[in-house]
Amino acid sequence: MKSVALHNLGCKVNAYEIDVMQQLLLEKGYKIVPFDEKADIYIVNTCTVTNIADRKSRQMLHKAKKNNPDAIVVATGCYVQTDAEIIETDEAIDLAIGNNRKGEIVRIIEEYLENQSANDVMIDINQTEIFEELELKKTSDHTRAYIKIQDGCNQFCSYCVIPYARGRVRSRRPEQVIEEVKQLVVSGYREIVLTGIHLSSYGIDFVSKNSEDYLGAEAMKEENSEIISGLSVKDIAQKRGYLLNLMKELHEINGLDRIRLGSLEPRIITEQFVKTLSELPKVCKHFHLSLQSGSDSVLKRMNRKYTTQEFREKVNLLRNHFENPAITTDIIVGFPGETDAEFEETRNFVKEIEFFEMHIFKYSKRKGTQAAQMKDQILDQVKAGRSSILLELEREMSKEFREQFRGKQLSVLFEEKKELGNKTYWIGHSPEYVKVAMETAENLENKIRQCNLVSMLTEEIVLSTEIRNR
| pLDDT tens-digit series, residues 420-448 | 888 899 999 999 999 999 999 899 999 99
Task: Please tell me the distance from the alpha carbon of residue 134 to that of residue 16, in angstroms, as a whole number.
Answer: 9
pTM of the model: 0.89
Q: State which residues of the chain have pLDDT below 50.
A: 210-231, 233, 239
Partner residues linked to 328 by β-bridges: 288, 357
Q: Is 11 exposed, middle or buried (0-12, 13-18, 19+ CB in 10 A)?
A: buried
pLDDT number for residue 441: 85
| pLDDT tens-digit series, residues 213-252 | 433 333 333 433 333 334 454 555 554 589 999 999 999 9
Region 3-115: CATH code: 3.40.50.12160
| Region for residue 368 given its phi and psi (left: phi exceeds 0; alpha: psi -120 to 50; beta: otherwise) | left
pLDDT number for residue 222: 40
Task: Please tell me the distance from the alpha carbon of residue 77 to that of residue 176, in angstroms, as a whole number.
Answer: 23
pLDDT number for residue 234: 52
**Chain centroid offset of residue 280 CA:** 22
| pLDDT tens-digit series, residues 97-107 | 989 989 999 99
pLDDT number for residue 232: 54
So where are the chain's domains? 3-115, 126-284, 409-469
Task: Please tell me the distance from the alpha carbon of residue 437 to that of residue 463, in angstroms, as a whole number.
Answer: 5
pLDDT number for residue 341: 98
Task: Please tell me the distance from the alpha carbon of residue 174 to that of residue 238, in angstroms, as a whole number.
Answer: 16
CB hemisphere CA count around 200 (13 angstroms): 17
CATH topology of domain 409-469: OB fold (Dihydrolipoamide Acetyltransferase, E2P) (2.40.50)
pLDDT number for residue 137: 83
Residues 23, 59 contacting (CB under 8 angstroms): no
Tell me the CATH architecture of domain 126-284: 2-Layer Sandwich (3.30)
Partner residues linked to 452 by β-bridges: 409, 465
Residue 193 — φ and ψ, nearest 5°? -120, 120
Q: Do domains 3-115 and 126-284 have the same CATH topology?
A: no
